[in-house]
């Protein structure tokens, strides 16, 4: 009986070790690429403030057609916030890494680039990382 118990304990430990190794491997894996079709549906959340069709009008925020890979401040028709301008003086590009942070918290992203606390006019936050990945995938193709 004693030997049997010992055996059980060892194999339970082995399973626990395997499981934690598996979860580490999972955590280290690169973030899943987004799904553009899901992203397009999520864009409804952006529609109160943005259009994203070619030549679409500005609303509270700028039109987002072809925004991916643009340099900051590219939209001459739109009056960006002071916070945006301060960050843009330091320079940033609307790429995957930028959008991942910006869509989660625009003011925090701009503050990080500006090197001081600034506010974006975009107060909306897309909290779920998977949702951000989907929206980014959509924006990449929206050109």
The contact set with ligand HEC (CB under 6 A) reads: 45-46, 48-50, 60-62, 64, 67, 72, 74-75, 80-81, 83-84, 94, 103, 120-124, 126, 135
Measured from the Cβ of residue 92, the count of other Cβ atoms closer than 10 Å reads 20
Indicate the residue among 13 and 139 with the shorter CB distance to ligand HEC: 139
Indicate the residue among 6 and 136 with the shorter CB distance to ligand HEC: 136
Indicate the residue among 114 and 126 with the shorter CB distance to ligand HEC: 126
Beta strands in 1-143 (DSSP E): none
Distance of closest approach, residue 127 Cβ to ligand HEC, in angstroms: 10
Measured from the Cβ of residue 127, the count of other Cβ atoms closer than 10 Å reads 9
Q: At what angle do helices 82-90 and 106-114 cross, to 10 degrees?
A: 40
What kind and span of H or E run contains 104? none
Indicate the residue among 13 and 130 with the shorter CB distance to ligand HEC: 130
Name every residue whose Cβ is closer than 8 Å to that of residue 72 and which is 6 or more positions away in sequence.
Answer: 84, 87, 88, 91, 92, 93, 94
Distance of closest approach, residue 30 Cβ to ligand HEC, in angstroms: 21
Distance of closest approach, residue 45 Cβ to ligand HEC, in angstroms: 5
């Amino acid at each position: 009986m004693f030997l049997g118990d010992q055996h059980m304990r060892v194999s339970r430990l082995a399973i626990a070790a395997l499981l934690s190794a598996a979860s580490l491997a999972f955590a280290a894996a690169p973030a899943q690429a987004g799904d553009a079709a899901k992203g397009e549906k999520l864009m409804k959340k952006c529609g109160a403030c943005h259009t994203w069709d070619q030549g679409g009008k500005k609303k509270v925020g700028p039109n987002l057609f072809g925004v991916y890979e643009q340099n900051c401040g590219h939209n001459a028709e739109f009056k960006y916030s002071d916070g945006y301008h301060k960050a843009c003086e330091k320079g940033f590009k609307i790429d995957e890494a930028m959008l991942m942070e910006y869509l989660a918290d625009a003011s925090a992203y701009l503050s990080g680039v500006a090197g001081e606390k600034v506010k974006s006019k975009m107060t909306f936050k897309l909290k779920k990382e998977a949702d951000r990945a989907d929206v980014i995938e959509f924006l990449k193709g929206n050109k």
